[in-house]
Structure formats: structure tokens, C-alpha cells
Structure 1
Amino acid sequence: MPDAASPFGIAGNAPILPNVAGIEKQQILAVAEIAFDDPDVIPLWYGETDISTPQFICDTAAKAMAAGDTFYSHKRGIPELIQSLATYTADLYDIEIEPDRFSLTASGMSAIMLCLQALITEGDNAIIVSPVWPNAQSAVRTLGGEPRYVTLTPGDHGFGLDLEKLKAACDDRTKVIFVNSPNNPTGWVMPGDQQKELLDFAREKGIWIIADEVYARMVYEGKAAPSFLQHAQPNDPLLVVNSFSKSWAMTGWRIGWIIHPPQIGELLGNLIEFNYSCVPPFLQRAAKTAIEDGEGFVKEMTEYCRRGRDIVTQRLPNLPRIKNFAAPEASFYAFFQIEDGEDTLATAQDIVRKVKVGIAPGTAFGPGAEGWYRLCFAQKPERIAEAMDRLEAYLKG
């Protein structure tokens, strides 16, 4: 029988690494599991749209599978896709990025994990601009690192970052500065001048920047958010993470990429081999189609989210007990406070039980977000409007 003294009930107390055993359940899941399969719930807890992946992308994957493109592939990505990504990035930012600086990954999350595996060990710390997607901070802890948070400051027109405070948080054990811009959950966008200043600082101190730019195309002014790439030299200590999940409605496909200095391409290739060998080649063919033929869909997706944003921006600030909401510059999230809702997880769970609207508790996104909540508005306008009606009933009651 299992030994009762083992925290996991494993016979003989066979150990699990404390860095892993100590990971807590993600708080978004703690809300979603209450009513995940309830068809009456409006699920605004996770970061995905209700639009299916475009058919032309799906057709490419199906044709590639039917043609037998189902074997091991280039571990850093098929050359045709890598070239498409290089061309796409060059056109987007009016800069030249050589193909040898790209590595394909099995999702944006695996891209972050690969970067951290290369940089973080026991006792190191990572400075994280917070609030932030919860998986990023958990990945640091899994590797034995210490997340240190520099919190965005809310204002009348959105959030801002105190760059001097961020610099002061770094010490001789700081190996990484993690910046998610456009930001999940706040919609904050880091200005280009701040990116340049932070990159100059990181270069001087020998600290890596991991820039999570997954929401780069989900902007409501312009073609893309500012990128660290616009200020970087090829050999700068910069790793830019991106994904097909959001702009191309491919969350379930699990495919992303890293832009990195060319000198570490082989190292990342080795880590890819040890983690998952390669991204399935038929998915890579579909991703190439998304990059080359999907620009129209990216624009449609942004406009779809804009309609949800407009409804939330009009309705949410006028609901009872709502405060500190500003229309997000980018991404597809609203981040706001509820008066007397400081027990954030309990309140989010109460909302889904009573009015069947699923929102994420702010405490999932790091320190300083008690009393805050996130909802994803990348859904049909009528569903967002109905969610606002239900939240109004809850907040009045």
C-alpha cells in the first residue's frame, strides 16, 4: 500500500522535487472547474476567442497529413516556415531578421519554458512585470528560481511601469527580466522608448530580457505593438516569444516561436530535442499558411475583439461597484476592480455559481491584484452584452 507519510501517497516516500510539488493549482482553473461543461455559462475566464481556426489553415494541415507529412521534422522548424516568419517579422517592423534567429516551439508556453531552462537555475531570480500570465511565474519556480515582481501602476488612462523601480529590483542573482507587452491581463503596452532604455540596461548588466509579445497584433491603433526587436542588435541578450494562438485563433494547435541571437540557435535546438523532438510537420505546414495567407483574418480577428471591447468599455464602468477600469490599449482583456470583492477567488467562484459568468480572479496574475478581475471579450458581441447584464444583476444583488 502507498506510504501515508508521502504527500502524494507514493510508496516508500519516493520524492517529487519540492519546486514542482509546491506548485499551487492555477486560480483560473479553480473557477473554471466549477462549471466548465455547463452550456449556460458564458466562459470569459480563459484567453481565447469563440472563433474556430480558419478553414484554409485547417485544410492545409489535413492535406499535409494525407500526403504523409507525419514523420520527424527539423527540430527548429522546417526551412520554409522559418523563412516565412523572417519575412513576416521584417515586414511588420521594417527591420531585417535573419532566418537563423528563429526557432519553432510547441506553443508560446513551451517557448517561455525553453528560454528559462537555458537561463535559470536554483537560487537565481527573475524580475517579472506584474500582473502577468500565471504560467510564466510558475515556470520560474519550477526551475528553482525566485520570481520578483515589479507591479504596474493603475491610472486614469490605463497602467504604467516605473522603469527605475524595475532596475532597482535587479541584483547579482538576476538572470532574467520578463516583460509581457501587450500585457495579459491589463492590456498595457510598453512604449518603445522604455523598451530601448530597458534593453540598454540589460545589455550593460548582462541580464536577459524575455519579451512575451504574443498579443503584438491585438492592438486597436496601428498594425502592431512596439517590439524590443526594433531596438535590438542580433547579439543582444533578448529572447522574443510569440505564438499562433491568439491572432490566428489557434489556441489548441500549440505552436509558437522564439526570436533569439543566432549564437544560441543550436543550444535551443538541443533543448527542443530533449523536450519534444520537433513540432509536428503537418502543423508547421498549417502555420506557414497562416503566416502567408492569414493577414486578412488577423485584421478580422482584431475588429471582432474591438466590438467586444466597445461593449465592455461602454457597460462595465457604469455597473455598480466597478472601479479602476480603463479601456485596454491592446490584447482582448478587461481588468477591473469590484468594491467589497477583495476575496478575489471566492467572489469569482460566487459569480459563476450565481449568474453563470466565468471571469478570472486577479490574484492568479501575481501580487498586487487582490480585488481585481479579468474577463476576455474575444467573443460574440451578443454574448458579451449578456455577460454584462448578468454581472449587473450580480453586482446589484
Structure 2
Amino acid sequence: MLQFDLLATDASSHARRGQLTLNHGVVQTPIFMPVGTYGTVKGVMPRSLEEMGAQIILGNTFHLWMRPGLDVMASFGGLHAFEQWHKPILTDSGGFQVWSLGDMRKITEEGVHFASPVNGDKLFMSPEVSMQIQTALNSDIVMQLDECTPYETKGHITTEDEARRSMEMSIRWAKRSQNEFARLNNPNALFGIVQGGMFEHLRQESLEQLVALDFPGYAVGGVSVGEPKEDMRRIMAHTPHRLPAHKPRYLMGVGTPEDLVEGVASGVDMFDCVMPTRNARNGTVFTRYGDLKVRNARHKQDHQPLDTSCSCHACAGVSGISWDKGGRAGFSRAYLHHLDRCGEMLGPMLTTIHNLHYYLNLMQEVRDALEHNRFSAFRQQFATDRSRGI
């Protein structure tokens, strides 16, 4: 089941405000989706995700297939009961993880042969197998198996001919994914994935062929795969708004806060990226006024929270009170610096909570701006604030 309702549009850009209804709940768009690779958003309790406003999260088809396996998933009736998250879940197809195996895999028309990175077993992933795994996971949004077209391989930048061959095989795999999805009577929603590398005309061909297949929703893949930022932005500006206006649009694996705001302006409804959680574990946090590295020595005696405008548990504590010079219920930069230097697990847990809260709150602010016809002003103020610096 999938229903997408378009609620508002922006006259100065392709930005739009929508509502996505899925089998496990309603999602307000534009939305950022936290990534939960192994059935968990690393270091964050499901209750905390709900409290910070997460509406939909990701699961990773490839890794959940490896561990714990489909027999365990089947015994729980899918991923929701297994990880105790009862809102919508999107699962990727496994294509990106297979691509990232490099020399450990061989891609053919039939599918991908590879050695398991867990125990070395010889395995095979095809569009049909991907649909079977995702059906067992019972994810609300299922992604077709595609070949993730790389920007370069061992120093060789992908040519137009190579990108075309990859894109055309992904189209054939889209049809096979669609056929298997229907055969399995999967009650959820299947998205097609636009490929075509860094070539706009190939993106357009991919888009047109996928639209002819009439998927419930569409994704733009093959970005954030090592290409220069300007190339990613170029494809982001070209493709999303050309997808059907009455269906949700998902930009895969993107990105920075600036990427999200510009992606919304390009017509994107849904985003995911490991950046807020991965950067948090490495001591880098996102704030309204730029990025902050908690391990830097200048924070050793800093009594301020990470972001004085933030109401997350890390910045404002349980009570969510406003910060002032007299003290605060939240945690100081000095304390987080100390935790980072000591390798204490509470440190990355708190920075992860902050980064995810920041991303989710940013999307809430975007939605509010679109509802009140002030997205253009918001976009300008956001850029000014982020460039100001900590």
C-alpha cells in the first residue's frame, strides 16, 4: 500500500510538501530517514528515534540476509517486530553493498555472484532473490535491484558507454524485480531506481523507461559514489523534478545538510545518509551555525552545549530547557570532549542523538517553511547561518 498526497508547492523552486501513507503509518515529506544497517540505528534506542521525530527508518537487505538470516526474520514476521520499530521501514535492494564488494563479486545479466563477507560462502543475488529477501523483511518500501553505476573504478572514470550498459541492465532488472514482487503478492510498495551515471541524457532515458513501468515511487541512485560534489549537484538538479509529480521521489545516500535543502529545492521528497550517525561516532556534529569537532582541544573547558538553539537530549537534557549562562540540563562541549578522548560509549551515543535530531528538525523546518510559503527565505537564511561558523 502506498498513497502520496501533494499538499503544497514552492513557486520559486521545485520544492514540495507531501504526505506519504504506508502500511505501517503516515510519513510527512520532505523527510530524512535514519539508516539502520543491521536492524538498528547504531547506538540509538527506538524510543529515542520516536522522540526526536523519526517517521521512517532504513534497513539493509544485504546485511540482514547475511545476519541473522531469513529464517529468523520469518519467525518474527518481518523486521518491524524483530527490531521493535512499528513505524514504516524502507529497505535497500542490496545492490550498493554488492557493488562495494569490488573484486569479491562478479556481475552478470542473471545477477551477482559473490563470496559472503561473513563466512566466505558462495552466494547469488538476483532481482528475484532481492524481492524474496525484502518480502521476508516486510518493509513498507522495497527497492528494485539495480547495478550501482560507479563514478570510477581503480582510477578509471566510468565512460558514457559503460554507464549506458549499466543503466540498461538496471532497467531490465527493474522489470524482473517488478514481476517477482507481483508473484510474491507483496502488499507493500516497490520503487524503481533511476541510473545513468553523470550523464543527463542517460538519466532521462532511464527515467522515461521506469515511468513507463508505473512504479508507485521512484529513487535517484548512483550519486554519492565518489563523484565530485559539483557532479552530484548537477544530477540532483536535473533528475528529481522530472519524475512524476504525483509520486514520491527519493534521493539515495545524500547527504550534508546543504545537500538536503538543495535536494528539496530540486523536488526531492525523501533522503537517507549514514553521514549524521557516522560523523557523530567520529566526533563531528552538525549545528545550525556550522560543523563542530568535539575532539578539538579548544572545547576542553567549553561550558556551552553543542548547539544553543537545539532541544535534543544532548543539548537540552531531558527537560529540553533553554540554555543560559547560569547552566543547563544538557551536556557541555567540555563533557563530550572528555568522553571522546576517553573512548566512552556515551559520547558517540549523545552526538548521534544530536546529529539525527538536527537532521530531522531541519526537515521539520523545511516542511513548515513550505506550508507557510516562505521556503525561499528559509533557504537563504539556512545558508547564511550554516556559513557563519561555530
* TM-score, normalized by the shorter chain, greater than 0.5: no
TM-score when scaled to structure 2? 0.31
Higher relative contact order (CA 8 A, sep 6+): 1
